[in-house]
Structure 1
């Protein structure tokens, strides 16, 4: 079974992404780090126990990874926006065997003391225009959310909009049982996160 792990806000630069999220939610993001294998870097914010948000962008100081980056960041353009959601599991190989084609192959990754495996598509593009979750499995008991300061923010809903909503809902059926995640018909692929903040409810999209 899959569990919602974190949300990804993509940005052309990390500074732009952080500024957007901090302005929208009215809280400060915590430091993150670098991902040498992907040539990216991030900043983080807690959303609940075992749940967080990351702002991620290509790291201009990192060496090119020699392959397409995750979250289709090589093709990213425009203002910062919520582009992906990530689901964790206990057995990544088993989850991939039962997932739609195109979810990727497991990569072993690390950042500071964190260790995990993540399925990264060969072309960087996840199924359903990125609205199918990226699949991962943490190695050990350490999780980023437990290391982040409390912000008073809580995710209260993750809304997925897609022209093929029924197919996306079917692809998630039996794999994810989370009342926070809802799939709706939409004219174009879109993610919306409803977040309660100290200043009231806000929407990231």
Structure 2
């Protein structure tokens, strides 16, 4: 039986990066049987996304958790330096790049991370228009390069905006989620500071995220 307690209660979303968005969406559908729906564009950032709901078995109904497939936006010019948010330009196929948590006290967690010396980068205000033209606005922590190769989560606060998972997304089941780290004890200390102390961190040879997603057409595992 899957240990659902290893899926963090504050999980907001997982991010898969792809080198080409439409091809990435098609590959995700081939593997899981679920087709992601258009999320929106990030003006000036060179990226767009498509979304799939995440439905961890045993979680309460209405839990706001989703999967973002992020890739270059063919209708935008790439930034002048050629880099894209969350290192999306480096993706090779479907890449589980990083993850986000939504702590209940965003600013308090940011202050705590500063005090404890956890390098989360900076707090940024972000926005995008959804496929139906609704403006979403949020703030998040952002650092480039990604801390610990994306295994350290970033913090997100949706403020007054609707959460993307409220849009009735097609969904897959999140069966497992864990973090591999060369120093799992140190990783657990950082996770506790950020508000994800219930995430599973295990010893490994490198920083790596592990997830298993199940859809009606198959299982996708990272």
Q: Distance in 2 between matches of 1:37 and 1:2?
A: 32
| CA drift at 1:26 | 1.3
Q: Secondary structure at the match of 2:123?
A: strand
Q: Secondary structure at the match of 1:89?
A: coil
Q: Distance in 1 between matches of 2:153 and 2:163?
A: 18
Q: Render the CA deviation track for 1:4-43: whole Å, top value 9, x for unaligned.
A: 1000001111123212221221111111110114221010
Residue correspondences, number: 198
Q: Distance in 1 between matches of 2:91 and 2:170?
A: 31
TM-score (norm 2): 0.79
Calculate the aligned-residue CA RMSD, in Å. 2.4
Q: State the partner residue of 1:20.
A: 27
- The within-5 A match list for 1:161-176 is 161-173=180-192, 175-176=195-196
Q: Describe the shift of the 1:203–1:77 C-alpha distance in structure 2 as closer, same or farther (beyond 3 A).
A: closer
Structure 1: gaps of 5 or more residues: none
| CA drift at 1:130 | 1.3
TM-score (norm 1): 0.84
Q: State the partner residue of 1:10.
A: 17
| CA drift at 1:173 | 2.2
| CA drift at 1:149 | 2.9
Higher RCO (CA < 8 A, seq sep 6+): 2
Structure 2: gaps of 5 or more residues: 1-7, 56-62, 130-134
Q: Distance in 2 between matches of 1:44 and 1:51?
A: 11
| CA drift at 1:66 | 5.9
